[in-house]
Chain A
Amino acid sequence: MNEPHHDSRFQRWFNRRGWIKITIATPYVWLILFFLLPFAIVLAMSFATRTPTAPPFSFGGDYPLLNTRTYHRLVEDSLYIRAYLTSIFNAVIATLMCLLIGYPMALGLTRVSKSWRNILLMLVILPFWTSFLLRVYAWMGLMGTNSWFNKLITSGYNYLVPAEDALRYIPMMNTNFAVVLVTVYSYLPFMILPLFANLEKLDFTLNEAAMDLGSRPSRVFLDVTLPQSVPGIIAGSMLVFIPASGELIIPSLVGSSSRPMIGRVISDEFASARDWPMASAVAVALLLLLVVPLMVYTYFDGKAHEKIKSSGGADA
């Protein structure tokens, strides 16, 4: 220990309790300033009125923070409701597709040898480290009307349908199909990784016991593996569904402009229409409809798990 009587007052304070206060307060204040405060602004802004000034808003009326005109428009104009529905629909389909493809892949990863598993896991994570934008872009090249992929799919389609229905190409770009496809492609690792983490920990002797007792593999899967993997399914679905529903890049690049998703509506209201109150109201509604319920659910789910774990720990 260094001689304490040479320490300055700051050093003594720091050594005793000060460093704890600094450790807590620095990130706390940062997040309040740059995360909480912006959301308070969004919330307040959703009650403002749009004006042609700069910055383009004003708080007016008798009760400036209870001016719900923007929210009336949100409910009345079918554009917004349709955008919410399109977003939720696309995100649900994409999540289900990710689950259908990702679950067998995650299960497969638990069944290969350890050295293969490490390589394959790295191959799942690798696209993560390359640019998200470039992965979306890769599909723009594949889905174009002249691309080899489109020709391949078109000839497959023409082979299946009668000759008079044959197409020269299949219009894939700027459709909701394209949005779902690219969303599945971009978010599949988010489904595989939590599922794998969950499935890897499962006790395989249960499966063997069920097999020994004469269950068919399909029954073993449905009765033993699937119920145990529900936490992984929920975690993966959450990681896909939430960002997919608020996605902006994918619908902007490959989506249809006649049926926009909510992320694009927020961005357009804000940047093109310069309607800050409307953009804020749409954002608040998105948060209240999707993000907050899911967060509250995960919070209580996590609490429940902690409780089970701690009571189990007390027993052991």
Chain B
Amino acid sequence: MNRRPVFLITMLCFGFAFFYIPILSMMVYSFNGSRLATVWGGFSTKWYISLFSNKQVLAAAILSIKIAVVSATMATILGTMAGIALARFKKFRGRTLFSGLVTAPLVMPEVITGIASLMLFILMAEYLGWPSKRGFTTVTLAHITFSMVFVTTIVHSRLVQADDDIEEAAMDLGSRPWQVMKDITLPVISPAILSGWLLAFTISLDDVVITNFTTGPGATTLPILIWSKVKLGVTPDINALATITVLIVGIGVAIAGWLLNRAERRRELDAQLAYRDNK
């Protein structure tokens, strides 16, 4: 279209202002000297200093990362298995229930998943004696369960898109199915597995509601610590924490985007060169 879509561009500007003004405002106010979080009282970095000297915050952050690494790794293994099962094994007993089970957690309100998991853990402790107390184990189990289905979705859609020509060729050449899976299918979907892990990691790192239900005393993750503080109102040190989070994530995403862009450009260049050589 040669006409400039003025209205659409205006809406884009408005939308991005809506996205980023609250975040920017929060970042500016993290340098606020006043104790009153919403009244400007001069530039200061004291909230950052108090944040870095706060051992509770550090311990919570470390616990969150531990839980996120363990649960993302387990969720990736289980989720990839489920994705492969749904995409490559067309017929097995209970397939309908299985595909229901991997979609349901995606749309389940978190409160319900939270109380359901908590009741399970309490009853397990009551009648099986394991897990004896709520904390790292119960939170990790709950996180694996609701983040593995995201991995499944990513792996499944990658497998459905990917050609199975190479797999069939390898089969025809006498490879056993398991070898094909190990040497061809898994390498092909490795980018999907990696992004699945990252998604599971961030979901776990970010979760409040399910963690809030399944955790116990002594196992405070960073979101739970923030949650218990912000329930009481706006506090300046949370602004500082938020600013650090946004900066880490922003820089990470920017680097990832730059790397992907570069790889894509290189591939295009290679394709052009190959095309020219073949002419």
Contacts and interface: CB of A to CB of B under 8 A. Distances in A.
Interface stretch (B10-18, B44-52, B163-171, B270-278): B10-18
B132 interface: no
A295 B104 contact: yes
Nearest to B229: A137
Nearest to A207: B1
Contacts of A208: 1
- Among A45, A141, A246, A247, residue most surrounded by chain B Cβ atoms (within 10 Å): A141
B26 A141 contact: yes
A295 B101 CA distance: 12
A309 to B, nearest CB: 12
A253 interface: yes
Interface size range of chain A in the complex: 35 or more
Interface string B4-31: 0101110110111011111101100100
Interface string B47-90: 00000000000000000000000000000001101101100010
Contacts of B82: 27-28, 31
Nearest to A134: B242
Contacts of A36: 101
B120 A34 contact: yes
B189 interface: no
B246 interface: yes
B26 A55 contact: no
B262 to A, nearest CB: 12
Contacts of B152: 27
11 contacts: A20-B89, A23-B84, A118-B261, A126-B253, A137-B226, A138-B25, A138-B26, A148-B38, A204-B1, A246-B109, A249-B208
Interface of A: 1, 14-15, 19-20, 22-24, 26-28, 30-32, 34-39, 41-42, 45, 55, 101-102, 104-105, 107-109, 111-112, 118, 120, 122-127, 129-135, 137-142, 144, 146-149, 185, 188, 192, 204, 207-208, 211, 217, 238, 242-243, 245-249, 252-253, 263, 266-267, 270, 276, 279-280, 283, 286-287, 291, 294-295
Interface of B: 1, 3, 5, 7-9, 11-12, 14-16, 18-23, 25-26, 29, 36-39, 78-79, 81-82, 84-85, 89, 92, 94, 98, 101-105, 107-120, 122-123, 126, 141-142, 144-145, 148, 152, 176-178, 181, 202, 206, 208-209, 213, 223, 226-227, 230-231, 233-234, 238-239, 241-242, 245-246, 249-250, 252-254, 257, 261
